[in-house]
Structures are given as C-alpha cells and as structure tokens.
Amino acid sequence: MRNTRVLTATTGALCVLGLSSCSAAGSETQDSSAESERPVVLTSFSVLADMTEAVGGDLVDTRSITPPGAEVHEYSPTPGDLRDAAAADLIFFNGLGLEAWYEQFLSHSSAEVLILTESVETLPVTRLPGASAAETAELPVNPHAWMSPAQAMVYVENIEAALIELAPADAAELAENAKTYREEIQAVWDRAEERLAGLQDEGEVHLVTCEGAFSYLAEDLNLGEHYLWPLNAEDEGSPQQVEAQIRYVQEHQVPTIFCESTVNDSAQQQVAETTGATLSEPLHVDSITEPDGPAPSYLELLEHDLDLILEGAQR
C-alpha cells in the first residue's frame, strides 16, 4: 500500500473559493476536529465508501465524495466536497486514472491520501488480439479492479491496514470486521462460480457490455468479453463500434447483452434490435444505488450483476 502526501490549501485559497471565513478558518477546523470522536475518512465514490464502512463500522465517520448513482470518471467536486476534504483525516482514492479530478481535489486537503489499488493485479483497458507483452504493457490500465472479487480482497486489506494505522486502539475490532467482510465477498463469489460451472459445461459464456468496465470480472469468471467502447471514449457508440458488436453477438449467438447504469444505452439498443438479443436491465459498476435500489451495497452490487449475467446466459 502506498501513502501519497497531498498538498495543503492555504486559508487564502479557501477564502477565494468561498469555503470558509478568512479570520476563523483555522480555529473552526480545529474545533470541529476536537468535537468529533471518530476519525473522518473520505472516499472518492460510493463503492469505496461502502467497503470502508464494512471495515470501519461505527468506529469511523465514512463519507463519499460522489453520491449514489453518480458517474465518477468526470465528476466535478462541489464546494461541499472540498469542505469535507479539509475536515478529513484520511482520503481513499481508487487511482488507475478513474478519478480525472484527482489532482485538483487534493490541493484542498492536508489529509493523508491512500490509493486503494496499490498491489492490485491490473489489466489493460483494451486487450489486443495477438499483442506482445510489450505492446500490452503500453496500454492504459483498466481502473475497475473492484469488480473482481479477488482484487476486492486487496482493497479490503489496504483499507484495514490504513484504518488500523489511523485508529490503533481499535485494531482488533477493525481486523475482525475486515475478516468477516472478506468472507462475505468470498461467499458471493463461491455461489457465482457454482452456478457458472454448469453453464460453461454447455459452452463458453459471453459478457457483452456498453463500456469495458467488466474486464476484471470476465477474467475471473473466464467469460468471453466484448464491448462497444473501452472507457469514456470520445466516440462512444460509433457506427464502427456498433457494427463490431453486432458481428460478435451474431457470431457467438449471445442471448443477452448489457449496459451500465451510468451510461447511455442507445447504441446497445440498436445492437439488440439488429441481433434479436435481449438488452438486460442495467448493470452497476461505478456506484451503489440508493437504499431502495437493486444494489445499495458493494456485496449487493456484485450479487445483482452476477445474477443478471448468469440468468442472461441461460436465455
């Protein structure tokens, strides 16, 4: 796990942004910190916040910069987000290029910043057929590593270590919470693998999506993978991408195709209409949902997506 020391915003800079009173900014922050009994941990998006809450429980005040349902890649932090950053004791980011607003945001906090994908086994955004190891190494990294339950364990280990360092008196409880959470992630994964085994006995299972956000999950499950665009591409849903997707679906007789909850599915609808494949309800990746939604926690997000993928393969 890597520690990243961030820049400290001056009181003057905060005043220019309208975030605090010039005369009282320092003392108000100190008073607020003194009144708080729990350390404040700020995360870049709701999936990381849910993981942190699972480990930290009531011992930590966990907050998410982006709200449930938000698109994290190109999010624009608000003045309220910057105030939260100024009050935080620790900030978790995913890294790997996920948060395009990372550097701008960090200039407003002196909190310790940790990149949770440290030690994660990464995959390139686009895997080129027949590419050499050197060519693959030059490709940008896919940031959606939390969609792999195996890599999610690394996230949890990094969160656990960071929280224990932040609150050493609570080390035993934090370690127990992390152990329980890893077991819960493993249980979700074990159920999915058991269901998938029967399907793969009948042939290869394919995962066809709008965005290339499921490479880690496809790798873990040994699924054939195809998508319209890699990640936040400027030409999302171009005619060439739609044509390639149609060919793939027809060639492999894919019964069900998918799109993510935070992207426009109009191009994928065109693929479905042309091929006769069913366009499933959305998969969730970059965000958990509100409590009344289908994926209000990371574990439920995994279960929801795996259920849709495996049910879709049986059609």
Q: Domains in the chain, ordered, with CATH?
A: 2-121+141-183 (3.40.50.1980), 204-313 (3.40.50.1980)
Q: What is the pLDDT of residue 133?
A: 58
For residues 312 and 255, the answer to whether their CB atoms sit within 8 Å is yes
Of 238, 254, 161, the residue nearest 203 (C-alpha): 254
CA distance 274 to 202: 25
pLDDT exceeds cutoff 90 at 103: no
DSSP secondary-structure letter at 314?
T
How large is the average pLDDT for residues 226-235?
Answer: 78
- List 5's β-bridge partners, or say none: 112
pLDDT exceeds cutoff 90 at 131: no
For residues 209 and 239, the answer to whether their CB atoms sit within 8 Å is no
pLDDT exceeds cutoff 70 at 7: no
pLDDT tens readout for residues 27-68: 444 444 444 589 999 999 999 999 999 999 999 999 999 999
| Residue given tokens 């001056």 in the structure block | 10
Q: What is the pLDDT of residue 137?
A: 58
DSSP secondary structure string for all residues of 218-274: HHHHT-EEEEEESSS-TTTT-HHHHHHHHHHHHHHT--EE--BTTS--HHHHHHHHH
Q: What is the pLDDT of residue 20?
A: 38
The better pLDDT of the pair 240, 71 is held by 240
**Residue 234's pLDDT band (boundaries 50, 70, 90)?**
low
Where is 74: in which H helix or E strand?
A: none
Exposure of 93 in the CB half-sphere (CA atoms within 13 A)? 23
pLDDT tens readout for residues 268-305: 999 999 999 999 999 999 999 999 999 999 999 999 99
Where are the alpha helices (H) located in the chain, listed in sequence order? 11-16, 25-35, 46-56, 79-87, 102-106, 133-137, 149-166, 171-200, 215-221, 239-252, 266-275, 298-313
| Contacts (Cβ under 8 Å, ≥6 apart) of 119 | 1, 154, 157, 158
What is the pTM (predicted TM-score) of this model? 0.84
pLDDT tens readout for residues 8-26: 332 333 233 333 333 344 4
Q: What is the pLDDT of residue 10?
A: 29
Q: What is the pLDDT of residue 235?
A: 63
Backbone angles phi, psi at 224, to 5 degrees: -70, 135
pLDDT tens readout for residues 163-221: 999 999 999 999 999 999 999 999 999 999 999 988 887 778 999 999 999 999 999 99
